[in-house]
Amino acid sequence: MADRNRFVTLNRHVAGGPVEETVFSLAEGTRPAPGDGEVLLRPLALSVDPYLRGQMTGIDTFYLPQFALGQPITSLGVGRVVESRHPGFAAGDLVQGVMQWADYSLWSGSDTLKGVGALGPVDPAIDKLSHALGVYGLNGMTALFGMVGVARPEPGDTVLVSGAAGGIGAVAGQIAHILGARVIGLAGSQAKCDTLVRDLGFDAALNYRSATLADDLRQAMPRGPDIYFDNVGGAVSQAVMAMMRRHTRVVECGQISTYDDENGGWTVDIRPIHANGLIWESFTTAHFAEFYPGGLAQLIHWVRAGKIKILETEHRGLEAAPRAMVGLLRGENIGKMVVTLE
Amino acid sequence: MADRNRFVTLNRHVAGGPVEETVFSLAEGTRPAPGDGEVLLRPLALSVDPYLRGQMTGIDTFYLPQFALGQPITSLGVGRVVESRHPGFAAGDLVQGVMQWADYSLWSGSDTLKGVGALGPVDPAIDKLSHALGVYGLNGMTALFGMVGVARPEPGDTVLVSGAAGGIGAVAGQIAHILGARVIGLAGSQAKCDTLVRDLGFDAALNYRSATLADDLRQAMPRGPDIYFDNVGGAVSQAVMAMMRRHTRVVECGQISTYDDENGGWTVDIRPIHANGLIWESFTTAHFAEFYPGGLAQLIHWVRAGKIKILETEHRGLEAAPRAMVGLLRGENIGKMVVTLE
């Protein structure tokens, strides 16, 4: 059928416990027809990010809207305009923004991800489309602004990055390295740790699943980190914060290890922060939305200069999107998790 | 009996749910005889503080030791030496430090409260003994170093203090006022709020039990606080942090509203910190132990100059100590909660 349109949907919300592939369905509808001001596009690459887990709980918070059951999942993506009834876009345009996990995605002019989801052109300097979602997208911007704008390491500082082999962590660690810091990564396997040190220039990397994590941390940095750039939260961060010195800083970027907790996670046991007198600063990329053009140019420069290496885990086809999401939450990706479509 | 010694003890640990008076017993033993290096003293005033709740859970953390069932509760206190076998103390000396909730307390040279519990003389400049535990003790030092050393408001800053009618909050708010800040207090009754504004010079005070708390906060400070000096945590702090602007700061001093939670509390839902890009800094008084002499002199100066007014809620007699502890956790005190003994 020419007007058939497959889409990935959530068939139940999950709060507490892991997301399995069975909570997703590949449903089928008809290809939408754009109304006035709307754009129909064909997604070419979809960004699979931890924050999506927070839209799957069914728990309303002020933070993110919940996915409606039976409706298409949405995420950031790159696509090509099929039909436009919006003056800013024409058929054939390459665009990025929030889109549906579907063969055809209807963009109705709404920006479902505050400040960072508006539809716009893909910069022609980006040679691989999926990179617009990774190092040049939300992940790269978060790493850049989080490290340069929030963490602000001085040369010689020890920066510890958790989730260091993830889409944000891998870029954040390399930027800390560019800034002259000593960079130590935490990742979930020896293979990931090897990649961080061998390919990305991390000074050291530790497997957080090690039974001797506390000792490993102390050996790698006897005085603890000066800055802990945290993507994971939970038990790993508790172990790190217990060894941090007064006035050293946690820069909190995400808490993926908690998102399967009841109530959707994001709770922190602050006793080590209190007892050790730590400073905690959180941020989201939306706080830096005004600075994306400069951020993009900077990231392109560093990639071309060989100072940032790109890691990506690619799944192919719309039907692989649930697998990609579950794999992300299990830490199966190395670098940016992305789904590419024909 | 000349050698009878009554003491207050915990007969069960409580993790999750409120502490009732029935978890305490007034037990009786014999008056201890000091061994070499030990001191026997008669407590004259006992400090009743929120952190004691954390020693009643039976849950071991690195943060505080648990009270042993059947043994005397201990807290900071002021007492008079009855018999000394320690070269630093003589019978008749007025001393302060960690002591037992008992008619006679044996000090064995141990410092059970890291950095701040060592036995020492009471400064002769202190005219009322219980003040050595309040404005001139842990409460006043915490308020002073928390406000001057951590919060550091600039003149004109809006400083919001929770638990503002408590032993720490009342002093902290007055110090913020001395530093030129606009000070707003959160307290649990209209009577407390009236006292803060009328007697202590707070610019405003809000009842956190008001059904319109979020609106009240927004009316009192349309742009939110510049600094939130937090003694309570929980729902009140969630409401405050939801209205705070990026780069404004939470200075965390305590989380009393959470101590009855399962696992002993101290967990924070960080979503408002993340979404709003806030900075959080925690501290304990132990971080400033080196500066107590200067702190004491400064507090004495401000009290004598009329710039810090002292609020105190006094319970009399050893048998009243459980009532004082339960009352503290219910917010029944105004100012420092103290038990005085004959």
C-alpha B103/C-alpha B35 separation (Å) is: 18
Residue contacts between A and B (CB atoms, under 8 Å): 85
Contact B278 A277 (CB under 8 A): no
C-alpha A172/C-alpha B192 separation (Å) is: 48
C-alpha A86/C-alpha A83 separation (Å) is: 9
- pLDDT for position B63: 74
Furthest CA-CA distance within chain B: 64
Q: What are the tens digits of pLDDT across the range B232-256? A: 999 999 999 999 999 999 999 999 9
In chain A, residues with a C-beta closer than 8 Å to the C-beta of B50 are none
Helix H or strand E encompassing B200: helix B190-200
In chain A, residues with a C-beta closer than 8 Å to the C-beta of B282 are 270, 273-274, 276-278, 280
Cα pseudo-dihedral A159, A192, A165, A315, rounded to 10: 180
Residue B108 has pLDDT above 90, yes or no: no
Q: What are phi and psi of A18, to 5 degrees?
A: -75, 150
- pLDDT for position A118: 82
Q: Tokens 């090690």 — which residue? A: A210
In chain B, residues with a C-beta closer than 8 Å to the C-beta of A288 are none
Q: What are phi and psi of A233, to 5 degrees?
A: 70, -160
Task: Tell me the CA distances in angstroms from B34 to A170, B37, B38, B74, one per residue in order.
Answer: 61, 8, 5, 17
- pLDDT for position A293: 93
How are beta strands A312-316 and A267-269 bridged, if at all?
A: unpaired
C-alpha B35/C-alpha B43 separation (Å) is: 19
Of A246, A252, A287, the CB nearest to B287: A246
Strand partners of residue A187? A207
- pLDDT for position B64: 82
Q: What is the DSSP string of A50-78?
A: GGGGGGSS----SSSPPPPTTSBPEEEEE
Among chain A residues, the shortest Cα distance to B279 is held by: A281
Task: Tell me the CA distances in angstroms from B151 to B47, B158, B221, B229, B232, one per residue in order.
Answer: 25, 11, 18, 7, 16
Strand partners of residue B268? A268
Residue-averaged pLDDT of chain B: 95
- pLDDT for position B2: 66
C-alpha A136/C-alpha A295 separation (Å) is: 8
Mean pLDDT along residues B102-107: 96
Of A63, A266, A278, the CB nearest to B282: A278
Task: Tell me the CA distances in angstroms from B225 to A62, B210, B213, B220, one per residue in order.
Answer: 20, 19, 14, 9
**Per-residue model confidence as pLDDT tens for chain A (342 residues):** 568 999 999 999 999 999 999 999 999 999 999 999 999 999 999 999 999 999 999 998 767 889 999 999 999 999 999 999 999 999 999 999 999 999 999 998 766 555 567 899 999 999 899 999 999 999 999 999 999 999 999 999 999 999 999 999 999 999 999 999 999 999 999 999 999 999 999 999 999 999 999 999 999 999 999 999 999 999 999 999 999 999 999 999 999 999 999 989 999 999 999 999 999 999 999 999 999 999 999 999 999 999 999 999 999 999 999 999 999 999 999 999 999 998
Mean pLDDT along residues B202-219: 97
Residue B27 has pLDDT above 80, yes or no: yes
Mutate to test the interface with B, among A241, A282, A288 (most CBs of B within 10 A): A282
Of B242, B252, B269, the CB nearest to A274: B252
In chain B, residues with a C-beta closer than 8 Å to the C-beta of A277 are 281-284, 287
Angle at B302 between CA B155 and CA B138, to 5 degrees: 95
Of A266, A271, A273, the CB nearest to B271: A266
Residue A110 burial (CB < 10 Å; 0-12/13-18/19+)?
exposed
ipTM: 0.94
Report all structural domains of chain A as residue ranges with CATH numbers, in order of start: 4-134+310-340 (3.90.180.10), 138-286 (3.40.50.720)
Question: What would the two tokens of residue B294 be?
Answer: 């200067």
Coil, strand or helix at A22 = helix
Q: Of A249, A281, A240, A245, which is closest to residue A153 (Cα–Cα)?
A: A249
Q: Of A174, A179, A175, which is closest to residue A156 (Cα–Cα)?
A: A179
Order across the sheet with B249-252: list the strands: A204-207, A182-187, A158-161, A227-230, A249-252, A279-282, B279-282, B249-252, B227-230, B158-161, B182-187, B204-207
Q: How many helices (H) and strands (E) does chain B have?
A: 8, 16
Mutate to test the interface with A, among B240, B267, B281, B290 (most CBs of A within 10 A): B281
Strand partners of residue B236? none
Q: What is the DSSP string of B95-114?
A: EEEEEESBSSEEE-S--SST
Q: What are the tens digits of pLDDT across the range B138-197? A: 999 999 999 999 999 999 999 999 999 999 999 999 999 999 999 999 999 999 999 999
What single-letter amino acid sits at B109?
G
Extended beta strands in chain A, E state = 4-10, 24-30, 39-47, 74-84, 94-100, 105-107, 120-121, 158-161, 182-187, 204-207, 227-230, 249-252, 267-269, 279-282, 312-316, 336-340
How are beta strands B204-207 and B182-187 bridged, if at all?
A: parallel
In chain B, residues with a C-beta closer than 8 Å to the C-beta of A258 are none
Contact B274 A267 (CB under 8 A): no
In chain B, residues with a C-beta closer than 8 Å to the C-beta of A270 are 252, 255, 266-268, 282
- Residue A341 C-alpha, separation from nearest chain B C-alpha, in angstroms: 32
Of A246, A267, A272, the CB nearest to B267: A267
Lowest mean pLDDT among B62-76, B160-174, B324-338: B62-76
